[in-house]
Chain A
C-alpha cells in the first residue's frame, strides 16, 4: 500500500511527511520528523505525555492519525521556547523544581500552554482540572501547579506592559 503525503505546519514552519494510513500523529512526529520531545506513555490517550496543540486545541498525538494533520497547524514542545529564550512556563518549571524524571514534562508544558492561551488567569482548581489528563508519577503535582500559576502571573504582567 502506498503511503500518504501530508503537508502541515509544525512549530510555525511548513513540514511534509509520508505516512501509513494507520500511523498516529505521534509516530509521525517521533519516527519520521524526529521530534522526540512528545512522549508515548500509554498510546491510549490516558497519560498526556504526547500532548500537542493542533489548530489551537490541546490533543493527544497518540489519538490522532498522522493523515489528519493535513493542512493543520501543530505546536509541539520543541516550539515552546523562542530560540534560546525559554517560555515563562519552562522557566518557572525550572525555578520551581516542577520536574523530577522529566518524562511527562513536555506534555505538561504543552497542556499548560494551551490552558494559559485560553485562560490567562486560572485558579488553582482550574489548573488542576485542566492538567488532569497529564499523569505525573514523580511530583505529586504540587510544584507543577505552583509553576503554572507563577508563569500565568508573569505572562499577565508581560501582557500588561505590552498593552500599556
Chain B
C-alpha cells in the first residue's frame, strides 16, 4: 500500500507546506547579520584605499589611537603574515596568503577600496573620526582594469612573484596571467576540416555583483581566555571559522561561529572580509565589536564575478552535426588569482556530445576587487558565448535551434572534454519540454523576437553533518550545519518527515553553530538539499531502525515482524493482526524505559551529485527609438531531479532568470580613468526591479538522480546560465543584429541599430 495513496509513494516530498522559518521572516523577527548586538559592543570600521594601485609607504595610526573613544586600531602589521598556501575552504580557489592580504593590505593596495586599517570605537561618529585621523602615505602605481590589457606584456604588474602556471616551459618573467588551462578532446583541426559550416565569434561580458540585499555584517567577541565567538551572515559558519583561524593564527577549537540568517549570498558570501578584522579588534579592545559594510563598500570591495572575453568557433556538417568546437576564455580574477575560468572551461561545451574539442582558459589578475563565486561560477560567461554561437550556427544551417541542440545534446554516456562521463542526465528532456511548450509556438508582435538557450551546471556534494532527535511527544528536531539561504530548512525537514512518516510541521529544523554540529562544507554549489539532505535522510533512517528495535522490544516480537509505515511500527504482512501498531509518539513516550533518548547522526562526504540542465525560451521587444529591450515572456525549463518543495524550486529558477536578465541588459561596473568605481550603489548599478520583469514561467522536468534517496539534483545554479544568450538570440530575432557585448543596454542597442542601418 502506498502511504496517502500518492502515485509515487511519497507523502511529504513534492508537496508545498509553509516553510518552518517563514513566520519569523514575514514578521521581521528573523535575526540577520546586522540585527545582532551584545552589551558593551564597539563599532568597527575600515580605512580603505583611494587608489587602484599603489605602494604603501607608511601608515600612521598614532593620532587615531589617541582619539578618546577609540579602543583599537589595527593594520596588517598586527596580523600574522601568512605564507602562500592553497585553500579549498570556500567555493572557489583562493590562496590563504592572498585572502589575508585582501582583508588587510600589506605593502601594496591593489584596488580602490582595498582595506588598509581598521578601528574599533565607542560610537559610529568616533569611528568615522578615527578613520580620518589615519594617515597613509602612498606611492601611486600604474593600474590595469581590463582583462586583455592586463595580459599584455607591457601591462603594470600587480604581483612581481606571479608566474603563469600551466605553461611549458615555466615562464621566467612574472605576469598578470596566473594560470593557463587547457582541455582537449580529439583533434579540432581535423574536425574543422570535416565541417561544412563554420561560425566564429568573439564575445565580452562585464563583471556583475551578486547584489544580495543584505550587506556583510558580523559581531565578534574574544574573551581573556582567547575564546572567540563570531555571529555573522555567511554561506558557511565552518568556512568563516577556518578562514579566521588561519588568518588570525588561532586554533580552530578556540573559535565558535554562530550563523545569522543570511540575506542573500549567491556565492558572494563564501569569503571573509570583516570577520578576521572584527575578531582582531575585539581581542585588542577586550570588547565585542560589530562591523557592518555600507552598500558602497559591498560594491567596491566584495564579489563580483569575472568579466571576460570568450572566443568561440563551431564547425558542423550541413545536417547539423557539430564536428569541432573551440573556445578561448579570458577571465578577470580581480586583485588576486582565482577566477572561475576553470569551471567556465569545463562548462563551455559540457551540454554537447562532441568528437573534437579544444578549450583554453586564462586566469588574469587586474586592479579590481577579488572575484567571489556567483551562481554557477564561470558557466554563464562561457555559455553566453557558446549559446549565442549555437544560435548563429542554427541560422546558418537553417535549423530549428532546439533541433540543432537536440542533434548534438549530451546523453547518458557522453564523454566531456574534461573527462567526466555524463550519467542519468535530463538535457534532451528539457529540449523536448521546451519544444512542446505553448510558448514556443506563440505568435510574436511587431519588433518582438524569440530566443532559445540552454545551460548546464555540475552541482556538487561534499561534507555534511546532520542529526535527527526524537522529542518526548514524537516530534523531531533536525540539526544541520548549513545556513538556510533560500528554503533548505524546509527541504531538510520535509525529507526527514518523509522518512519518519510524520507531517513536516512535526519536524523542527535548526541550523547549528560550529560547536553544536559536525563539520559541514559551506552552502554553495546547490549542494545542501542534495548532500546535507542525504545526511538527514541517513540519520532519519537510523532513527527509524532504532524505533523498530524499540517497538520489537515493547511488543516482544522479532524486529523482522515490524515495518515502519506512516509514522508507526506496524506488523509486516506475515504478522498481520498479531499486534496493534505502535505510533512514533507512543514509542517516544517510552524511550526512557527502552534504552534512553532516540536520536541519530550522520556525517558524510556525499558523492554522486547529478548535473543539471535547463533550456530557456525568451521573447523580447526592442524599442528602436530608445534601444530599450523589454522582456515580454520568459519560460525556464529545467531538469530538477526531484523537487522536494516545488514552490522553492520554481523560486530558484525564477530568481536565477531575473539575475540573468540583469546581467544581460543592465548590470556593469563603470570605472574612471584612475581605476575608481563610479557606480557603487543600487541607483547606478541597476538590478532588475519588479516593473522590469514579466511573470517567469517554469517547467520542472523530473529525471531523478539515482544517487540520492529522493532523486535530488541541485537546482539553484543552472537558471542563471542560459538567460544572457537567450536574450541576445531573441534580440537578433527581433532586429537582426547580433549583440556580442554585455550588457545589452539601450546605448549599445542603439549603436548596433545605427550600425546595421548604415
Which A residues have a C-beta under 8 Å from some C-beta of B?
A: 20, 30, 35-44, 46-47, 49, 76-78, 80-81, 86, 90, 93-97, 99-106, 109, 124-125, 127-129, 131-146
A96 to B19, CA, bound (A): 10
For A94, the chain B residues whose CB sits under 8 A away are 18-19, 22-23, 26
User: Does B340 sit at the interface, judged by CB under 8 A?
Assistant: no
B214 at the interface (CB under 8 A from A): yes
Q: Are B654 and A140 in contact (CB-based, < 8 A)?
A: yes
Given A41-B214, A86-B23: A77 and B28 interface contact (C-beta under 8 Å): yes
Asked whether, in the complex, the Cβ of A101 is within 8 Å of the Cβ of B212, the reply is yes
Q: Is B648 among interface residues, defined by CB-CB distance under 8 A?
A: yes
1/0 contact string of B684-695 vs chain A (CB within 8 Å): 000111111101
Min CB gap A128→B, angstroms: 4
B50 lies within 8 A of chain A by Cβ: no
Question: Which of B125, B261, B689 meets A102, CB within 8 Å?
Answer: B261
Complex CA gap A47/B125 in Å reads: 24
- A103 near B213: Cβ-Cβ < 8 Å: yes
B516 in the interface, Cβ–Cβ < 8 Å? no
CB distance from B267 to the nearest CB of A (A): 12
Cβ contacts under 8 Å, A105 to chain B? 25-26
Chain A residues lying within 8 Å of B23, measured Cβ to Cβ, are: 86, 90, 94
Residues A36 and B28 in contact in the complex (CB < 8 Å), given A132-B691, A138-B486:
yes
| Chain A residue with the shortest CB-CB distance to B684 | A46
**How far is A139 from B25 in the complex, measured between Cα atoms in Å?**
15
Do the beta carbons of B690 and A81 come within 8 Å of each other?
A: no
Distance A138 CA – B662 CA, assembled complex (angstroms): 12
- Complex CA–CA separation, A64 to B510 (angstroms): 37
Residue of chain B at shortest CB distance from A125: B691
For chain B, give the interface size range: 35 or more
- Counting from the closest, the 5 A-B pairs by CB-CB distance are A37-B28, A103-B263, A102-B25, A140-B658, A97-B647
Q: Is the CB of A142 within 8 A of B654?
A: yes
Closest to A133 in B: B689
Q: How many A-B residue pairs have CB under 8 A?
A: 184
Tell me the B70-86 residues at the A interface (CB within 8 Å): none
Which of B32, B292, B682, B689 is most buried by chain A, counting CB atoms within 10 A of its CB?
A: B689
Other-chain contact of B658, A36, A44, A141 (Cβ < 8 Å): A141
In the complex where A36-B31, A103-B32 touch, is A135 in contact with B655 (Cβ < 8 A)?
A: no
Nearest CB in chain A to that of B649: its residue: A97
Q: A137 touching B651 by the CB < 8 A rule?
A: no
Cβ B213 vs Cβ A41 within 8 A? yes
**Residues in A neighbouring B294, C-beta threshold 8 A:** 43
- Closest approach, in angstroms, between the C-beta of A116 and any C-beta of chain B? 15
Q: Determine whether the beta carbon of A101 is less than 8 Å from that of B687.
A: no
Q: A101-B264, A101-B486, A140-B696 are in contact. Are A135 and B689 (CB under 8 A)?
A: yes
The answer to whether B30 touches A134, judged by C-beta atoms less than 8 angstroms apart, is no
Residues of B within 8 A of A93 (CB): 22, 26
B26 touches A86 (CB 8 A): yes
Known: A102-B261, A139-B655. A97 touches B213 (CB 8 A): no
Q: When the two chains form their complex, are residues B214 and A97 in contact, meaning their CB atoms are under 8 A apart?
A: no
Nearest-CB distance from A136 to chain B (Å)? 7
Between-chain CB contacts (< 8 Å), 25 pairs: A35-B28, A43-B294, A46-B681, A46-B683, A78-B28, A80-B27, A90-B26, A95-B18, A99-B26, A100-B652, A101-B262, A101-B263, A101-B265, A102-B30, A103-B261, A109-B26, A129-B690, A131-B691, A135-B213, A136-B690, A138-B264, A140-B654, A140-B693, A141-B654, A145-B690
User: Which residue on A lies nearest to B217, using beta carbons?
Assistant: A40
Q: Cβ of B459 < 8 Å from any Cβ of A?
A: no
Q: Is B487 an interface residue (CB 8 A)?
A: yes
Main secondary structure on B side of the interface with A: loop
Residues of B within 8 A of A (CB): 16, 18-19, 21-32, 34-35, 125, 210-215, 261-266, 292, 294-295, 485-487, 645, 647-648, 650-652, 654-659, 681-683, 687-693, 695-696
Candidates B27, B31, B212; contact of A90 at CB < 8 Å:
B27
A113 vs B724: C-alpha distance in the bound complex, in angstroms?
34
Residues of B within 8 A of A39 (CB): 32, 34, 213-214, 263
The answer to whether B213 touches A104, judged by C-beta atoms less than 8 angstroms apart, is yes
Q: With A39-B263, A99-B26 in contact, is A140–B214 under 8 Å at CB?
A: no
Cβ of A1 to closest chain B Cβ, rounded Å = 10
Minimum C-beta distance from B249 to chain A (A): 33
Taking A131-B690, A132-B689 as given, write out 7 further A-B residue pairs in contact, using a Cβ cutoff of 8 Å, ordered by the A residue number.
Answer: A47-B213, A100-B486, A102-B30, A103-B261, A106-B26, A137-B266, A142-B654
Q: Considering the complex, give the chain B residue whose CB is closest to the CB of A144.
A: B690
- Which B residues are in CB contact (< 8 Å) with A129? 690-691
B263 near A81 with CB under 8 A, answer no
Verify A97–B31 contact, CB threshold 8 A. Answer: no
Is B16 within 8 A of A43, CB to CB?
no
Q: Which A residues are in CB contact (< 8 Å) with B683?
A: 44, 46
Contacting residues, chain A, for B24 (C-beta < 8 A): 102
Across the interface, which residues of B come within 8 angstroms of A49, CB to CB?
213
Return chain A residues, CB-CB under 8 Å to B210: 137
Assess whether B295 is in contact with A38, with CB atoms less than 8 Å apart.
no
What is the bound-complex CA distance between A37 and B31, given in angstroms? 8
Q: In the complex, A79 Cα to B69 Cα: how many Å? A: 36
Which of these, B25, B213, B691, contacts A137 with CB under 8 Å?
A: B213
A20–B681 CA distance with the chains assembled, in angstroms: 26
Instruction: State in angstroms the CA–CA spacing of A28 and B23 once bound together.
Output: 25
A103 touches B27 (CB 8 A): no
B695 and A101: CB pair below 8 A? no
Alpha-carbon separation in the docked complex, A146 to B694 (Å): 12
Residues of chain B within 8 A of A106, CB atoms compared: 26, 28
Closest Cβ–Cβ distance, residue B708 to chain A (whole Å): 22
A8 to chain B, nearest CB (A): 18
Q: Which residues of A contact B266 (CB under 8 A)?
A: 137
A136 to B656, CA, bound (A): 12
B690 near A141 (CB under 8 angstroms)? yes
User: Given contacts A44-B681, A101-B264, are A37 and B29 in contact (CB under 8 A)?
Assistant: yes
Q: How far is the CB of A159 from chain B (nearest CB, A)?
A: 22
Point out the residues of chain B lying under 8 angstroms from A37, CB to CB.
Answer: 27-29
Question: Could you tell me if A128 and B691 are in contact, using CB atoms closer than 8 angstroms?
Answer: yes
Residue numbers in B under 8 Å from A102 (CB-CB): 21, 24-26, 30, 261, 263
For residue A100, which residues in chain B have a CB less than 8 angstroms away from its CB? 264, 485-487, 648, 651-652, 655
Q: Closest A-chain residue to B685, C-beta based?
A: A46
Q: Which residues from chain B contact A77 at a C-beta distance below 8 Å? A: 27-28
Contact between B27 and A140 (Cβ–Cβ < 8 Å)? no
Could you tell me the distance between the alpha carbons of A38 and B213 in the complex, rounded to whole angstroms? 13
The answer to whether B682 and A135 have CB atoms under 8 Å apart is yes
